[in-house]
Amino acid sequence: MIQTSGVIICLGYILGLLFTAVPGSGVWILVLGIVCAVFLRRGAKPQRLLQKSANDVVSNSLLLTPLPRVWLIAGLVGLLASFYFQWRVPQPTATDISKFVSSDSNNQEQLVIVRGEVASNPRLTRSQRGQFWLQVSQLDEVRNQKDTKETQKGASGKLYVTVPILKATGLHPGQEIAVTGVLYKPKAASNPGAFDFKKYLEREGTFAGLMGRQINILDEEEQWGWWQIRERIVRSQVMGLDIPEGPLVSAMVLGSKAVDLPYDIRDLFVQAGLAHALAASGFQTSLILSVILQLTKRAKKVTQVSLGALALIIFLSLTGFQPAVLRAVIMGFAALVGLALDRKVKQLGSLLLAATILLVFNPLWIWDLGFQLSFLATLGLVVSVPAITSFLGWIPPAIASLISVPLAATIWTLPLQLFVFGVVPAYSLLLNIITTPLISIISIGGIISAMFALILSGAGSFVAGFLHYPTDWLIKLVEIFSQLPGNSLIVGSISTWQLLAIYGLVFLVWLVNWWQKRWWFAGLMAIGLVLFPAWHSASTLSRVTVLEAGAEPVVVVQDRGTVTLINSGDEGTGRFTILPFLQQQGVNQIDWAIATDFQRNNNDAWLEVLQRLAIKNFYAYATNKENSLADQAIPQILQKQKGIYQLLPVGQTINLGSTVAQLINEQPMMQLQMLGQSWLLVGDVEPKEVERIMKAGGWPSPQVLWCNAESLKDLVMMLKPQVAIASSGSLESTVLSELSKTSTKVFVTAQDGAIQWMPNGEFESFTQVSESKSSVL
């Protein structure tokens, strides 16, 4: 039995880690512990607040108020947890490989040879390159490509390596290799909602990347590792099922992090709300234990516990030490201990114990999204499934279980998903209910197939072949639901106060009897907390955002519920820049889109945008006589979406409410009037030609100028705008010094990130706003 004091101390430790996001961090937990020690004494009666759940999850010991010293100890533990967290934050050492990355803007010419040990199996990136982690041991710097002289340096640390996919084929953990390539520092997120590559690497203890060109294998000897067993299982199942069914079954057994699952299948399941099916966790663990205990039910308890523990260790080693799997394995061991002692294990207590153990092992996991979702989903299953099943007592128990499990997990994880992604998979609950039998069959069959594959690869393939139809049906169901209208409801990322308020309501319904009887009222309040602020923001917000998108100006105009998108950037910009920003803003459709092809390479990202968002009105300036395949596909997609496509001649004006646009010439130059402010977007045009065109057309000087970095100085001196925004590139210090003497405020998106402006407000860079928020938090 977990005593109340132990629960309080564990919660104090976890809260201490959570409060690392707040100024003062653990000090607040210490203050809270002192307050509780003073005001909560043993005579208090918390029974009125805490309610015992139907399956007796909440222990009687939780209804006892601990001694004051327990609160003080918990507060002190929370304070120490905040210091422990800071101590465990990875920092580059003096010999870390990141220390050798040149700060020179021409560092792409610095060729190096990095030696080290492969630390992971290669994976395919979205850019079709092989990626793996390298434990660095030595750096050889090639000073001149004509001169073969090398400078050897001792180096350490972990490196994120990408190479051409054929170069990565055959690599495995433990190999000693030398990679020739270019070192670089990872970039932080430069646009709202974008993926922060720098933070991702820092969480992995990595501070540099290597764009590899060539690999030399130094150690041909193959060392044994769990990767060999994992590879044998995956190969066997792929032989029996082909692609994509084979990798999908392997991912459902071993987890997507242990299997290189194709991105189209991964994205399909994530978009439909079935990402959990690809994560090895509690379902597989409980399934393995159930099979082991059922097969050994006539054996002694020592045998049952030993075989169960061995199975859990093997499963953990095969899947990799992921937080969700570790949590499930620890709870599995708790169940085995209960079996050995003939005592019923309280799931809530074992969940809290698992969380504490894992966070002592790695406190940084407190901010790992997979860790958070895993524990919230499990908490929902423990505390909410019994109540939901009881409420659904009027339907058969089997059907009630199919509904209650995904519903409970959704209730506890959806607020966090909204906070991070801002998207609600509209049909997720229904799809989970329908696919649960298929997922169970595939998981059981996949585990059996894996066991046979360890004995004989052909036998594993034969068994996996029986899973063809269930796996094919699962993929088709996910595809059907993903193509339904409104399959993803974009509400925008909720704020921290909304997240805390919604989880406050969830906890009240769990713990307080009054709220349990009025759960529907709490549900309406939670929905209102999400929808009302989103509606109010969309209906009142007027803002112009210039995204950091390379050499082409990508502008988003939000004006009281309407959205205008100007240009889409090159390939990848739609998926990684535009869509994440619009998703964060809660944009479900684009009212007006203007395509100008500033880069004149027909390699834009409009198709990436149209795959996820509908466009009501699409205007394309005819600057290129040759139509690309994308230009031909856009009208067809718009026709399916019942949108309007118009091809406009150069010089025609477009009136889009608060935005008026006109492409002045084909080179190109574009005049804009946005929210009462005049803008001029200049492409690859000589400054003298810009001056001639402006004078010939009688155009006034713009208030805001966008141009490339090379033309910035001349155009600012000529046009004298209030604000100038330069695209990618770097400005020399002499140029910056001269521009600082003018009245023009200068931004460079490559350094400042996205630039945003609101009427009656100042222009702000995304990096400036991010740094301000970080200093507050």
Model pLDDT for residues 10-56, shown as the tens digit of each residue: 999 999 999 988 887 778 888 888 888 888 765 444 444 444 444 44
Q: Which pTM was predicted? A: 0.86
What's the rounded Cα separation, in Å, for the pair 124 and 601?
27
pLDDT of 135 higher than 70: yes
| C-alpha of 477 from chain center | 24
Q: Indicate the Cα dihedral angle 23, 25, 27, 29, nearest 10°.
A: 130
Smallest CA-to-CA distance from 167 within 203, 118, 207 is with 118
What's the rounded Cα separation, in Å, for the pair 319 and 253?
8
Written as six digits, the tokens of 406 are 């995904």
| pLDDT value at residue 48 | 45
| pLDDT value at residue 449 | 92
| pLDDT value at residue 54 | 41
| pLDDT value at residue 354 | 92
66 falls in which pLDDT band (50, 70, 90)?
A: confident
Pairing mode, if any, of strands 176-184 and 206-217? antiparallel
- For 479-520, write each residue's pLDDT tens digit: 999 888 888 888 888 999 999 999 999 999 999 999 998 999
Q: Which residues in 397-528 belong to E strands, given as ranges?
A: 423-425, 488-490
Tell me the CA end-to-end span of the chain in Å, nearest whole number: 38
CB 486 within 8 A of CB 471: no
Written as six digits, the tokens of 362 are 């790695």
Written as six digits, the tokens of 62 are 């939780």
* Mean pLDDT computed over 271-292: 83
Q: Which amino acid is at 741?
A: K
Written as six digits, the tokens of 39 are 């005001």
What's the rounded Cα separation, in Å, for the pair 771 and 767?
6
641 falls in which pLDDT band (50, 70, 90)?
A: confident
- Average pLDDT, rounded, for the chain: 85
| pLDDT value at residue 628 | 58
415 falls in which pLDDT band (50, 70, 90)?
A: very high
What's the rounded Cα separation, in Å, for the pair 378 and 73?
28
- For 513-554, write each residue's pLDDT tens digit: 999 989 999 999 999 999 999 999 888 999 999 999 888 889
Written as six digits, the tokens of 574 are 């739609």
CB 412 within 8 A of CB 376: yes
- Secondary structure class of 104 (helix, strand, coil): coil
Supply the DSSP string of 183-231, one letter for each residue: EEPPPPP-STT---HHHHHHHTTEEEEEEEEEEEES--PPPP-HHHHHH
Angle formed at CA 65 by CA 59 and CA 70, multiple of 5 degrees: 105
What's the rounded Cα separation, in Å, for the pair 183 and 211?
6
Residue in this structure with the two tokens 């209910």, named with its chain if needed: 433
Residue in this structure with the two tokens 């919604």, named with its chain if needed: 502
- Secondary structure class of 21 (helix, strand, coil): helix
Q: Which residues in 508-612 belong to E strands, given as ranges?
A: 542-547, 554-559, 562-566, 589-595
What's the rounded Cα separation, in Å, for the pair 709 and 722?
17
* Mean pLDDT computed over 233-250: 90
| pLDDT value at residue 545 | 94
What's the rounded Cα separation, in Å, for the pair 358 and 378?
15
Residue in this structure with the two tokens 């139509």, named with its chain if needed: 627
Question: DSSP code of 485?
Answer: T
* Mean pLDDT computed over 595-603: 69
Other Cβ atoms within 10 Å of 120 Cβ, number? 17
Question: What residues contact residue 41 under an 8 Å CB cut-off, 6+ apart?
Answer: 65, 68
Supply the DSSP string of 351-405, one letter for each residue: HHHHHHHHHHH-GGGGG-HHHHHHHHHHHHHHHTHHHHHHHTTTS-HHHHHHHHH
What's the rounded Cα separation, in Å, for the pair 261 and 555?
34
Question: DSSP code of 278?
Answer: G
- Secondary structure class of 90 (helix, strand, coil): coil
Question: What residues contact residue 25 under an 8 Å CB cut-off, 6+ apart?
Answer: 16, 19, 82, 85
CB 480 within 8 A of CB 274: no
What's the rounded Cα separation, in Å, for the pair 428 and 447?
25
- Secondary structure class of 759 (helix, strand, coil): coil
| pLDDT value at residue 53 | 45
* Mean pLDDT computed over 59-81: 76
- Secondary structure class of 514 (helix, strand, coil): helix
What's the rounded Cα separation, in Å, for the pair 206 and 340?
43
| C-alpha of 421 from chain center | 8
Q: Which residues in 422-581 belong to E strands, given as ranges?
A: 423-425, 488-490, 542-547, 554-559, 562-566
76 falls in which pLDDT band (50, 70, 90)?
A: very high
SS3 annotation, 604-629:
ECHHHHHCCCEEEEEEEECCCCCCCH
What's the rounded Cα separation, in Å, for the pair 600 and 583?
28
- For 91-116, write each residue's pLDDT tens digit: 998 899 988 887 765 445 678 999 99
| pLDDT value at residue 599 | 64
Percent of the chain predicted with pLDDT > 70: 91
Written as six digits, the tokens of 377 are 């989903």
| pLDDT value at residue 2 | 47
Q: Indicate the Cα dihedral angle 601, 607, 610, 612, nearest 10°.
A: -120
Smallest CA-to-CA distance from 654 within 698, 618, 683 is with 618
Percent of the chain predicted with pLDDT > 90: 33
Phi, psi (degrees; rounded to nearest 5) at 669 = -135, 135
Smallest CA-to-CA distance from 436 within 474, 381, 390 is with 474
Range from 375-384, 575-584, 703-712 carrying the lowest mean pLDDT: 703-712
CB 112 within 8 A of CB 181: yes
| pLDDT value at residue 563 | 93
pLDDT of 774 higher than 60: no
